[in-house]
Structure 1
Amino acid sequence: MASATAKPKPFVLHASTLARAHTYLAFAAFLSALVVGCALHYKKIVKNGVAGYPQEWFPSVSATIGDWYPERNIFQILIAINAGPRFALVALQYYLHRTPTSSIPGFLFLVGILRTLSCGGWVFITSSDDHDVHDVLMISYIVLNLPWMFGSLALTPVQHAASRRRRLWTSVSFFLSLLPMVYFFVQHKVHRIPGAYTRYSFFEWGLIFLDIVYDSSAELDFEAADLKITVGNLVGGSADTDKIADRSLIQEAPSTTETVIPSLDATVEKAQQTNGAEHLPAKVTPRPLYTRVRRTVSFLSDIYLSYIYWSVYTSLAPTLFYFSVWELGIAGHELALLSTLSPVLLGIPPFASWAYTREGRTILHGLWALIGLGAYASRSPLVRLVLVAFANAAAAVGSAVEWFVVADGEVGYRAFVTGLGFLVSSLSKHANHSNNPVWPIVNERSGGWNKTGIVLAILALLEFASRPDTTPPRSPPAPQKTAQISPPSTHWLPASLALGGLIFSLHSLLSDPTTLIAWAWTGYPLSGPVPALHGSLTHVAQAFGLALAAFLASSPHTSGALTHPLYLALGAASGYVMYAYKDWVGYAGGLGVAVFLMSIIPAVWARAREAAMAAGGGVGRTAAMAWLVACLFDVASTFTVAYAFVPGGEYFRERTDLVLLAQFACIALAFRWPRLNASVHPLMSTLPRRMHVPIQYTLALLTTISLLVTLYRVPKTTPQPHRSGSRIVRAGIWTVHFGIDNEGRDSQRLMRDLIRDMELDVVGLLETDLHRVVFGNRDLSRVMAEELGFYVDIGPGPNQHTWGAFPIINSTHHLLPSPDGELAPAIEAYLDMFGTAVKVIVAHNGQEETPLDRELQSTELARIMSSSYPDPLIFLGYVVTKPHARRPAPYEIMVTDGKVHDIDEEDIDRWCEYIFYRGLYRTSYARVSRGIVTDTELQIGQFVVPKPGTSVAGDSRDARYMRSWKEEMPEDHVGIFSPNVIPT
């Protein structure tokens, strides 16, 4: 009878079992589809719109799971079965991580639901059903993975080492795999390269498996928390239910089923303790929604103000260099750099007391933001320079206050906001053709978004001014009057040197994502990264560096790792690889430098702040010295090109290695050295814990935007000549004065317009190596490559100490002999012109102040040209000589020894730009002046390329100078200028 009255025991289901079932079902669904598809429809599922087997030999995920019976049906059945465990997984993770004081777990729960629904969308709506819907849902799934993966990682308790480690490596691998996958997709979709889709498919399948492995880490969490689901009596029973209710929460399910989760309060308490939180009372009043929203708005406002700060600072050098271009030497305007030394004013007690107040900080923010952004409205380059210099003076004072004079708990926060603002500044250039859209050197006609930037700045300033002052900055302690000497760990000078070195390093190497690519560039055929396509990798590295700093700051055991000398050695080794190697190896070193520099921002900033405060009111002194170091590096790095107009330049020429070594030597002073600052404590731990997740979200969002910008900006068409049927090539040479027009603004679009109107097929642009601080780290090829369709070669990189030349394909780079003066670059390229290989040379010789340089350079160019005689050749160059000048002047050396013809030897009104040629029919020649762009002209030559296997007939002077009326010429040969006759 006892057995008749006994109640059945509740059914206990371990949460880890659900997670394991999800993993097995997901793997089974995809692998079964792959195996069955390859067995039954192999050649059909590897075929795509470009090629089939054998060029394509591995199927994509979409073709495997969506195109054929029965693999499609097997897959969808298993995925449908897996829906239950997947939703349960999301709910249980929310249950495990939820706390009464945070809304982050709830946000992740919503993300998890949307992520699951979008996953169901793209697996059940295949590309063959509706390609657009399938792609939108797949992209949505990938985007939702950003907050899901990084948010789950941030909420994973430190004690759960195994799951934390699995989430870290799988999430990093997942997003790194996106980069080659996107690259091969572009190769397949845009360039239509057979086999590219197979390589794309490997990474696509890799993302699937990494995603499943990431979600499998929940099993480890559930096991560590001993999370169980108890299902009570299916029939019911008040007695047993009451007993269970005494120790657990009962949730009523539909019908008579009761779902019981035992010891819920104990489980929550255990999870909170695991996350490092203290035990909370049973009833906690939730934080008002307004407070959370206001905190988020304040965070975004701080990032935007940091972005404006970096924008104003990086605009100073290109604004003042306009005058150096026109003076061809030091013009005196370079003294505007010293405006950043304004923090010395903080040594005046009344001024310092005002600057530390909320009113003073707000006014300083308004001065540098509104004046620095509003400077664009002036048409006078001098007025713009004065306004930008004043804005930088205010910005330097304001930044010193924001960085150093803050409450102890906000030091890390300010450092990370500074790093995020810098990353946004670099991203804005990537999205705007290598120009910061709020710089004063751009306006609405040259790609500027100045008015939008000002409006957003006003909103950010209003938010800053009205923000609750919960942790106001405090004034530095008064200087000690005793003779006590500060300990070495708090001395201000090493900290200032380190901060100045880091500011310059960030500015010179990372303010544009393509600068590191320019350091590694070797030309065509491509064997390394391409600026427009791979610049996002730099942003990924920068974001990873900041994320690494935030991740290590989460634990007191790891927060000092980034100030250890071994980490400095790792960064220095990356710098050596970046300097000494080319192509992917050199760029990999550059990415290492990017991670290193961004990851030490919090430590270096905190070190400088500690030194400034301990020095007894030394905030102004510390900040001013840091900016002086940055100014000196600006000058030294500019002089490495040793152009002949600058006194003292010869001492720095070709010594980029020493400048780079000095940068790292300065940064090294912030690290923990036994006799210098061994007592420095781990400063990164001052980052408030509540900011870890927002920072991770922001970094994930910024890297995603960078990748999407790359996809949007990649040219969608293959470059084509204007007159392919007539075998006509129009080539031009133009000295563009570093992309600065006569009003001191960026000239990319003006250059584009003229090149488009002249219908040029090949153009050499001189004085265009702008990956330097003084030029704003720009790339003048971006607009033309995207909108006109050009293959681009940016020439020798900035680490080769030359101003560079621009865009050709199949190239070899040269540094011409320059023993005395300005270093001279050249590009030697073979172009496939309608099936005929034509050598094209673009070069920039030295100036008239150094006749020996010009003679040696001309001799080397003549050797390069004559080495391919009698093959067709076009020379487009800057040669400082008069027409028909005798030796040792360059003209006779190059024409006679180079075995080439002058395009028009009767034109004696030339000085610098020349076009030489051989093996082609010259049909037209013109010199076009466009005064609003530069004070130089665009020279153009039009040629007819002989058919493959033939050569030019009738190459005498009389034949070359025969002329014809344009009315007698075919329409293809008649352009904006009158042509010569075409020999038959």
Structure 2
Amino acid sequence: MVLIPEKKGVVLSRIPGTAIPFAHTVFGASAFILALLIGCYGHYYQIVKNGVAGYPEEWFPSVSATTGDWFPERNVCQILIALASGPRLALCYLWYLLIIRKVGSNDGSSTTAYAKFLFANDVVRTVACGGWVYVTSNDSHDFHDVAMIVYLLCTIPHVVGTIKSAPPNPKAEKYRRIFGYTFFGALIPMVHFFIQHNFHRVPGAYTYYAFFEWSLIISDLGFDAVCMIDFEALEFRVVDVSSETTKSQYEVGSGALGHSELKTLGGSSVSKMVSLLERIKGRDAISFAADVYLGFIFWSMLTSLPLMIWYFPLWHMGLSGYELFLFCNLTVGFLGFDNLRNLVDRSKGTVHLMSLVGVLSYKILDPAYRLMAVAMGVSLSLMAWVTTLYGQRHQNGRAEGGVLTLALGLILHNVLKQAWWANNPIWPIMNATNGGQNKLGLFIGVLAAVQVMLRKEPHLNETKSIDAPRKGAEDNESWVKGAIGAGGFLFCMHNMFTEAATISRWSVGGYPNTGPMPATGGFMVIVAMAGGLALSSRRRFVTSWIWYGVGSFGLTILHFFEGNVGFIGGLIFTVWVLSLFPTLIRAVSQQSPGRTFLVTMLVYNFLALASVWTVAYAFVPVGVWMRERTDLVLMAMQACLFVGLQNARVNSWTQVSETTRSRTAFSTTRLLAKVALVGLMGLSFLICLSRLPRSAPQPYHPEHKLITAGIWTIHFAIDNDMWNSEIRMRDAIRDLELDVIGLLESDLQRMIMGNRDLTQFLAEDLNMYADYGPGPTKHTWGCTMLSKFPIKRSSHHLLPSPKGELACAIHATLDVYGEEVDVIVSHNGQEEDFRDRQLQTTELGRIMRESNNPFLFLGYVVTLPGPGNEIYELLMDGGRMHDIEPTDSDRWCEYLAFRGVKRIGYARISHGGITDTEIQAGKYQLLDATAKAHSRELDGHHRSLSLTDFKNLASYEQIPEDGVPKGMRYPSMFYGEGVRNHRFHVHDRPLYYA
């Protein structure tokens, strides 16, 4: 549709309305059809081959193999897709206009919002299509998969929304439903055959998968082609407008719409937007930014509190008494006293300024006093925010402004953590030596607090006349339900959405079913959070029980499924939860703050402790009741949200009039919030791009076919003085030139560990492949494997633990210089539970014994070494493994073992104050062809040997260091005093072997 002059103009061309959907269909179909024909002609055997089988078992190519792997079919497809993108984007916009014209002015505001949502969704879907077409799995597997997931997710509202909003036309509706049903119907068998191929590795399954994949292309193009039926009555004109004609004389000239309908098609929206932009002044934007930053400060201190509390029971190996600081948030109950509440309300800027003691606490070296300062900061910040929300409770515009800035502060918190690899740069565990930006964060916080102090706003006693509580707003049922809902919601936010990578770690599985990597997955979660917050304005929808069912379904998928399937469920849950943010918080802020937020914090604290108990059951009273019961915690959380929604459906956002001032504030805040959301998503996208790997990892000494492997228990990346230790860990791993390392006590994606993720930082900074190991829902303390060698496949094990803490293990197969080598990283139970350790070690022995590949063991097994120690013998003898140095009797928990490789060296390196546990490292070399031919340890022969004969295969003859080539030696920097307090100890030197 074009603009033509009201009085005159020359029509240069007339284009039928069907031209745009026709062009899109022709270019799109040609792209895939020509790629298939060219591919089958030129590279048939290559494009039907996959990681499981080739021709004749696999005889039909997949879409990705056809369009992404070979020249010229790949390039032909990409050129034609580029040609199709213009008509596709035009189609998105024309459909937006058609929706508004269909309804006219009957329900203009809601329909306009719906049309905008559908238009935005379709644009994102179009861009995502370009993402998986132009970035193939060979270019970036993660980016390709993320783009495909986004495309499929956006297809759901695209299909449903198009069918619901289409003009009445039985023929078009019939074809749309056919193509829609075939599209979604094909997904079920497609997923089935994908599982058969990817996990069960069934030859031929990928061919059947490919048929359903191609059917999606046909259904997708066919669905959009139906638009030709809707556009038959439209005509597009290219008009030459004389120069003296002004823009005000234009009208819509499609032959179907007149000048009066210009406003319906967006003129009013544009004028409203322009009016808002004109009204927004610099001080409005500054006030908004200050509130968002103070929201970020609140989330920063709230998330750091459990992390700092955790330091003390970690070192006490049990309850320490410092856990009571979790209840510092109960001071909010004092707001029940009118005088104190009014004082805080009149001094909000000052209270925010005082709360910055939690940020300033990084200057306090003593961990106990640092924790006290953070607890004070959390208490003060919470009281300031509660007073803000309560003071604005009957002015919807200002109240929602407070809620939105708090929500945006949470998203900002996630974006900055994404930039700092899951660490918050202003946390009290950060400082200038480990990547902290405490001074800058504190300085901006002071400016934000001062801005609040200088701001002119009505206070509680000034708004009583216009804010008299509405009838029934403070009955007992209402405030209790609201408090329960808000407590469950705050716990949900803290537990699952204060780190963008948490959802991807909840769904992590063994290779290759790992789900998206933290950078790409984190970006998708931030987009989902923004989408949920944007959806929150549709209050009737977000408080519906259907929407509650959708959110609960997403959480169920996240909890019970691994990989991409679980992650998609997590995205659905993310959108649902964030859509509730204003509704639940606004509902609870209408009640008396003292009693209401006191109960809110009690519910939050109860759920927080319950979530910790699920993994810490061995160290807390009556822990057996909550052992591994995250499902119960999630059910309790959902029950709280159900109660809160039930209350919000009746009491929130209704029967409240707004003053002109509050409506103006409402519109201004909404506009600023939209700008902020777009900016945060853009920033997250740039961070994601900057973190994508630039090159494949390479081992340190390929010239010798050397493997340097180590094991290290790292105490959750909190050093002995309560500072984040990831950078110091990175330096030690890099300087030791470790090709493979197992890290124990590494699962930090919990409230008590700050929802951190040392794995992503170390993997990206050291350029290594990473297997996170069993995720947070598996209730272990975590084990991670980092490798310079590609991980071909891996499985995660929860070792038998009938009584004590649950033990985890990773069994991975690596591609080491073209050969398969198996590695186990394990963290077994504690000394107190002998039966657990016995069962766990027996299982490890079975896994190692049954493998035919060369094998490396990197693990934590609580036992003394040597004959006569049952656990040690179960590991070495039962697994048919050689101890790296049997005469080293000064060991207790960390052990290295090997089979089927040549041992070169062994060293023990002090922990340097990072933990209380040393690093152990072994150097190995692949056997050459001659040695491999004579090896009695490979291809299962180790199982046929007697135990004595197997032990005699290992030579323990030591040689001096100068008898070892320089590239195979340990770095000399660790001799003597060492570097950064890391040095060779016990033996005071490495041991080398013939």
The TM-score range, normalised by the shorter chain, is: 0.7 to 0.9
Matches of 1:531 and 1:267, distance apart in 2: 51
Q: 1:899 to 1:177 in 2, by over 3 A?
A: farther
- Distance (Å, rounded) in 1 between the aligned partners of 2:245 and 2:583: 59
Instruction: Mark the runs of 5 or more structure 2 residues left unpaired by the alignment.
Output: 50-59, 169-229, 466-470, 938-948, 973-988
Equivalent-residue separation in structure 1 for 2:357 and 2:636 (angstroms): 34
- Which secondary structure does the structure 1 equivalent of 2:618 belong to? coil
1:580 correspondence with 2:541: no
Residue number in structure 2 paired with 1:393:
379
Q: How has the CA–CA distance of structure 1 residues 65 and 899 changed in structure 2, closer, same or farther, with 3 Å as cutoff?
A: closer
CA contact (8 A) 2:67 2:73 kept: no
Q: For structure 1, which segment, 167-176 or 800-809, has the greater mean C-alpha deviation from structure 2 after superposition?
A: 167-176
| Corresponding position of 2:967 | 972
Pick the aligned partner of 1:944 from 908, 925, 929.
Answer: 925
Structure 1: 5+ residue stretches without partners: 1-7, 97-148, 235-251, 479-483, 553-558, 613-617
Change (3 A) 1:453 1:860: same
User: Which residue in 1 is equivalent to 2:545?
Assistant: 565
Contact 1:488 / 1:677 at 8 angstroms: preserved in 2?
no
The answer on whether the counterparts of 2:12 and 2:238 sit within 8 Å (CA) in structure 1 is no
Summarize the Cα distance change of 1:499–1:901 in structure 2 as closer, same or farther, 3 Å threshold: same
Measured in 2, the distance between the counterparts of 1:258 and 1:289 equals 21
Alignment check: 8 A CA contact 1:514 1:535 kept = yes
Shift of residue 690 of structure 1? 4.2
Spell out the pairing of 1:59-208 with structure 2 (5 A cutoff).
158-159=107-108, 165=114, 167-176=116-125, 178=127, 182=131, 190=139
- Partner of residue 917 from structure 1, selected from 887, 898, 918: 898
Q: Which among 843, 850, 859 is matched to residue 867 of structure 1?
A: 850
Structure 1 position 793, deviation (Å) = 0.9
Aligned to 2:456: 468
- Asked if the contact 2:500/2:523 (under 8 Å) is kept, the reply is yes
User: Aligned pair in 2 of structure 1 residues 14, 271: CA closer, same or farther (>3 Å)?
Assistant: farther
8 Å CA contact 1:642–1:650 kept in 2: the answer is no
Aligned pair 1:934/2:915, yes or no? Answer: yes
Q: What is the aligned counterpart of 2:841 among 852, 858, 861?
A: 858
8 Å Cα contact 1:10/1:230 also seen in 2: no
Partners of 1:427 and 1:258 lie apart in 2 by: 42
Tell me how far apart the structure 2 counterparts of residues 650 and 377 of structure 1 sit (CA, whole Å): 39
**Structural mapping, 1:354-753, within 5 Å:** 354-357=343-346, 360-368=347-355, 370-406=356-392, 407-409=394-396, 410-469=398-457, 471-473=458-460, 491-526=478-513, 528-550=515-537, 552=538, 559-610=539-590, 612=591, 618-672=592-646, 678=650, 682=654, 688-753=666-731
Structure showing greater Rg: 1
Is structure 2 residue 888 aligned with structure 1 residue 907? yes
Shift of 1:31: 6.9
The question of whether the paired residues in 1 share the 8 Å contact of 2:358 and 2:373 is answered with: yes
The whole-number CA distance in structure 1 between the counterparts of 2:576 and 2:919 is 43
Give, in whole Å, the separation in 2 of the partners of 1:944 and 1:263. Answer: 76
Question: In terms of mean alpha carbon deviation, does 174-183 or 330-339 score higher?
Answer: 174-183
1:128 matched to which residue of 2? Answer: none
- Aligned pairs for 1:877-896 (under 5 A) are 877-884=859-866, 886-887=868-869, 889-896=870-877
Distance in 2, matches of 1:668 and 1:882, equals 53
- Which residue type is aligned with residue 324 of structure 2? L
Shift of 1:487: 7.1
CA–CA distance in structure 1, aligned partners of residues 541 and 757 of structure 2: 36
Q: Secondary structure at the match of 1:960?
A: coil
**Distance across 1 between alignment mates of 2:148 and 2:553:** 32
User: In structure 1, how many angstroms separate the alpha carbons of the residues matched to 2:247 and 2:916?
Assistant: 85
| Identity %, equivalent residues | 31
Check whether the contact 1:639–1:649 (CA below 8 A) recurs between aligned residues: yes
Q: Secondary structure at the match of 1:841?
A: strand
Is the CA contact 1:45–1:64 (under 8 Å) kept in the aligned structure 2? no
Which of 814, 822, 844 is residue 831 of structure 1 equivalent to?
Answer: 814
Please tell me whether residue 763 in structure 1 is matched to residue 758 in structure 2: no
Which residue type is aligned with residue 646 of structure 2? R
Q: Count matched residues.
A: 857
Structure-2 change in CA distance of 1:486 and 1:203 (3 Å): closer
Q: Distance in 2 between matches of 1:39 and 1:823?
A: 51
Q: 1:486 offset after TM fit, Å?
A: 7.5
Kindly provide the amino acid, as one letter, of the partner of residue 836 in structure 1: E
| CA distance in structure 1 between the aligned counterparts of 2:145 and 2:755, rounded to whole angstroms | 35
Which amino acid in the other structure matches residue 301 of structure 1? A
Cα displacement (A) at 1:449: 1.8
Does the CA contact (< 8 Å) of 1:877 and 1:913 recur in 2? Answer: yes
| Distance in 1 separating the partners of 2:132 and 2:315 | 42
Of 304, 308, 312, the residue aligned with 2:297 is 308
Secondary structure of 1:789's match? coil
Question: Where does 1:746-825 land on structure 2 (aligned, <5 Å)?
Answer: 746-807=724-785, 809=791, 810-825=793-808
Measured in 2, the distance between the counterparts of 1:945 and 1:35 equals 45
Q: Distance in 2 between matches of 1:628 and 1:75?
A: 56
Q: Judging changes above 3 Å, is the alpha-carbon distance between structure 1 residues 17 and 329 closer, same or farther for their aligned structure 2 residues? A: farther
CA contact (8 A) 1:718 1:789 kept: yes
> Deviation at 1:37?
9.5
Shift in CA distance, 187/915, structure 1 to aligned 2, threshold 3 Å: farther
1:709 Cα offset (Å)? 1.4
* AA aligned opposite 1:972: G
Mapped contact 1:603–1:683 kept (Cα < 8 A): no
The Cα offsets for residues 649-687 of structure 1, whole Å up to 9 and x where unpaired, read as: 2221111111110011111111237xx974655599988
SS of the residue 2:512 aligns to: coil
Amino acid at match of 1:891: Y
Quick one: structure 1 residues 952 and 849, their matched pair in 2 at CA, closer, same or farther if it must change by over 3 Å?
A: same
The one-letter code matched in structure 2 to 1:292 is K
Q: AA paired with 2:577?
A: L
TM-score by length of 1: 0.75
Which residue type is aligned with residue 597 of structure 2?
A
Contact 2:782-2:808 at 8 Å conserved across structures = yes
DSSP-derived class of the 2:644 partner? coil
* Aligned residue identity for 1:874: L
Q: CA RMSD in A?
A: 5.2
How far apart are the structure 1 equivalents of 2:289 and 2:314?
38
- Measured after TM superposition, the shift of residue 937 of structure 1 is 0.4
Q: Which residue of 2 aligns with 1:113?
A: none
Output the amino acid matched with 2:849: S
CA contact (8 A) 1:607 1:683 kept: no
Q: 1:487 to 1:566 in 2, by over 3 A?
A: farther
For residues 229 and 755 of structure 1, what CA distance do their matches in structure 2 show? 65
Q: How far 1:582 moved relative to its partner?
A: 1.6
**2:13, 2:631 → 1: CA distance?**
55
In structure 1, what is the Cα distance between the partners aligned to 2:147 and 2:247? 51
For each residue in 1:784-827, what CA deviation from the matched residue of structure 2 results, as whole angstroms up to 9, or x when unmatched?
21121111111111111111100153211111111112111111
